Structure 1
Amino acid sequence: MKKYASLFFLALSSGAITLGAYKLLFEDNRTASLVTSAPANYLRNASLGAENIDFTTAADQAVHCVVHVKNVSYRTISNPIMEFFYGYRGGQQQEQIGTGSGVIISEDGYIVTNNHVIKDASELEITLNNNETYKAKVIGTDSKMDIALLKIDAKEKLPYATFADSDAVKVGEWVLAVGNPYNLNSTVTAGIVSAKARNLGNNGIQSFIQTDAAVNPGNSGGALVNTRGELIGINTMISSQTGAYVGYSFAVPSNITRKIIEDIMEYGNVQRGILGIECGELNATVSKELGISQTSGVYISSVNKNTGAEKAGLKKGDIIVKLDDRKIQTYADLAGFINAKRPNDEVKVTFLRDEKTYTANVKLTKYDMIVADFKGLELENLSAAERKKLKVNYGVRVKSVENSKLAEFANDLEGGVILKIGNVPAENIETVSQLVSKIDENQAVQVEMITKNGELIRFIL
């Protein structure tokens, strides 16, 4: 009897083991195979809806890093009647208040915001998410890229934002905009990245991140973060005819923002590198006019002398299609890549010439050595031959007029040679750059120049 019981138990055990092995080897493997063989974005696509994504962690992390920025400035209100009858030259000081947002980027109180948020400020007040307030000082600004760096002396270590790689951001990715629209502190809105490297035709940055997260006045300088709460951009502007949000907003990419901040902290100003080319982007119409088959990329119309591009052998007619490993389809792609670089950085340029592909290593030239901006005038150096022809020992030429207020004088100014700014000789672009950095944007200054017709003139700019 015991023998039969043992046999029965053995048979029962064997069946259980066989059934378990079948489950383990076949059914479990079949399930595992379905998961691992799915496309890499399979699970992500299954939860693209906002209702399936948890924004709470990212929002909680971001709101503590975003601050309210209060800009207090003063202007004098004159009384023309009192001035006319009594010679009264005084005026009433009127306080003006502007508000915006900022992002804490270090535990010791460095804050990044937009330059237009703090422009012309007499006082800057920062309010943290816990309602503590501090006076802030300006460490440095970059008006061209609309970025400013501030500093507060806080009582304790502050929560701060972590920079993400904005180049890795993908169109369609969920993002959060965090700021203080209409003085509504710690406001969080969600959207997706609508486009990258967006060119809005402004004089400054040409490589915005576009998003449909709701952004309104007061959001400027605030954070654009990914779903992990990492900083991918600084909200800068909206596209609107009314001044309020109508569907799209734009942010300065975090990679460019970080580079500007590091430059300000290390050098005191922004170090810009350029390839040394004049160029335009291709499309079907332009390509047809040029008689070429390539319809995307950046077409070189000229190469600046004594630049990295010239030394590397780039020529007029070359079409840039790649910088390092990044594909270049538009000018905004090129500008966004170069704006995150510094002078003397080396870039591998892939270009087409006579429909053949070539590569060249180009060392970026310092921007200030080629072109300088002075109150909306783009200036460039004179060659030795040009100085000899004009019978001058120094001067910089007005390459173009970008200031809309000076548009009606563009024909008179363009091609002219500035000899002095104030009473300081404009020896070259480097001298002018150093001089301009010491002149307030709103400060009137006398300019002495020779027009392209050879007439010596002086005017207040």
Structure 2
Amino acid sequence: MAFPRRLTVRPLIAAVALGTTALAGVAGGAIAADQDRAGIVGQFVAPGPAAVAQAGVHSSLSDMVEAVGTSVVQIQVKPDARVQQMAGPMPFGRGGAGNDSEIADRLGELFGFDRGGPLGAPQRQAPPRSALGSGFIVDASGLVITNNHVVEGADRVTVQMSDGRELPGRVLGRDPKIDIAVIRIDAKGTFKPITWGDSDHIRVGDSVFAVGSPFGLGNTVTSGIVSARGREIGAGPYDDFLQVDAAINSGNSGGPLFDGSGRVVGVNTAIFSPSGGNVGIGFAIPAKMARQVALEIARDGHVSRGRIGVSLQDVTPDIANALGLDGTKGALIAAVEQSGPAARSGLQRGDVIRRFGSTKIDDGRDLARAVADAAIGSSVPVRVIRDGRQVALNLYISSDQAAQS
């Protein structure tokens, strides 16, 4: 069993995908067909957290770990799992298109993302590979969340339960942009789901603990605190990671990050690691984002996001001076796709968007998230600075699925 390639980047942060893989795969959004999705999910409703006696800051986590442990599983991708055609590379940079920065290239190598070719272009098939990662049950019917890079290239997996049972599983769908995948356990029975926490209100300094299978060692627990919120590590336009100092290593990918009450607030996804091992800097996808994406995958088999067909850039002080702006707030339109939704709505290269509907836009990442969350087919009023004047436009939102078809 091999581990992710180690790469030391001189002054740059190297975020290492945590799945334990023999060979890095090609990024993709292949979706396994499933005829049983409808009605199996509901709202991912789970029972309330187990009552755990609190005896102060230094109380033991043992009762809480025991209560949540049966909901955490190990994901095994075996070399003979069927490999499917990949749908396209993961985009880097603000606008979803690839950029040529060294950090993006190196992150692409580490995460296993293929940056070549246009979005939606057919990619070569990923080679058969073995992988070990973690996951957690989110629905009593046997739905499991993990990372896309853990199950990438496979449509069949083995799910090992906390009691050692190995059950077959199918990949219902995946989202490379957020690095989330959903698995259905193909076995009879009722499974114990986790309880979702509130990742929007978790604070820096709050206690957290992780449960997973680092280096293939199942049922492993580590604890720490939230070190930072809203981290951007260059993985894509939707970066919004929780940074934690709990010991997270290869194989923890896709496992849950719990708050002090035993509720899931994140999905462990990447680490900063010059050495390849834990150095106390891990990154987790916030639970709110993971839950929304997983629910859509379980319901539809894929994720549809709003798009407007632009490349974005943050406003630097130099750009603000050149454009005569009163500050650096806003998202600069660096390029507009010909005949795309933005072009048809009247948006132009050099425009600076400062408000999208009721949302204030401070940078390109704000706009990317706002557009992704907007209702497809809707028309959103935006406030634009153009040639020193305010311009009001109605921006049409299309689907990124349509753009890739």
**CA positional deviation for 1:154:** 3.9
Alignment equivalent of 1:190, drawn from 218, 223, 237: 223
Q: Which residue in 1 is equivalent to 2:174?
A: 141
Partner-residue secondary structure (3-state), 2:79: strand
Partner-residue secondary structure (3-state), 1:70: strand
Q: Which residue in 1 is equivalent to 2:249?
A: 216
One-letter amino acid of the counterpart of residue 69, structure 1? I
Distance 1:126 1:342, change over 3 A: farther
Partner-residue secondary structure (3-state), 1:150: strand
Distance 1:239 1:323, change over 3 A: farther
One-letter amino acid of the counterpart of residue 227, structure 2? S
Partner-residue secondary structure (3-state), 1:257: helix
Distance 1:278 1:127, change over 3 A: same
Partner-residue secondary structure (3-state), 2:186: coil
Q: Any unmatched runs of 5+ in structure 1?
A: 1-49, 76-94, 373-432, 434-461
**CA positional deviation for 1:357:** 6.6
Alignment equivalent of 1:62, drawn from 48, 64, 68: 68
- Does the 8 Å CA contact 2:147/2:181 hold for their aligned counterparts? yes
Counting matched residue pairs gives: 305
Structure 1, 126-135 or 351-360: larger mean CA deviation: 351-360
Q: Which residue in 2 is equivalent to 1:160?
A: 193
- Does the 8 Å CA contact 2:162/2:219 hold for their aligned counterparts? yes
CA distance in 1, matches of 2:221, 2:392: 45
Q: Any unmatched runs of 5+ in structure 2?
A: 1-55, 82-127
Partner-residue secondary structure (3-state), 2:295: helix
CA distance in 2, matches of 1:274, 1:289: 28
CA distance in 2, matches of 1:63, 1:231: 12
Distance 1:363 1:232, change over 3 A: farther
Q: Which residue in 1 is equivalent to 2:303?
A: 270
**CA positional deviation for 1:216:** 0.5
The structure where helix makes up a greater share of residues is 1
**CA positional deviation for 1:70:** 1.5
- Does the 8 Å CA contact 2:75/2:135 hold for their aligned counterparts? yes
- Does the 8 Å CA contact 2:168/2:187 hold for their aligned counterparts? no
Normalised by the size of structure 2, how large is the TM-score? 0.64
Distance 1:276 1:98, change over 3 A: closer
Q: Deviations over 1:144-188 (max 9, x none)?
A: 332211111344321112334544444444332221112232223
**CA positional deviation for 1:279:** 1.4
Distance 1:120 1:204, change over 3 A: farther
Alignment equivalent of 2:261, drawn from 201, 219, 228: 228
CA distance in 2, matches of 1:177, 1:221: 11
The answer to whether structure 1 residue 320 and structure 2 residue 326 are counterparts is no
Q: Which residue in 2 is equivalent to 1:394?
A: none
Q: Deviations over 1:184-219 (max 9, x none)?
A: 322232333333333222357433232222210010
Q: Which residue in 2 is equivalent to 1:132?
A: 165
Rg larger for:
1
Aligned pairs (5 A) from 1:242-321: 242-305=275-338, 307-310=340-343, 313-321=346-354
Normalised by the size of structure 1, how large is the TM-score? 0.57
**CA positional deviation for 1:126:** 1.1
**CA positional deviation for 1:102:** 0.6
Q: Which has the higher contact order (CA 8 A, sep 6+)?
A: 2
Q: Which residue in 2 is equivalent to 1:366?
A: 399
Q: Which residue in 2 is equivalent to 1:334?
A: 367
Distance 1:369 1:67, change over 3 A: same
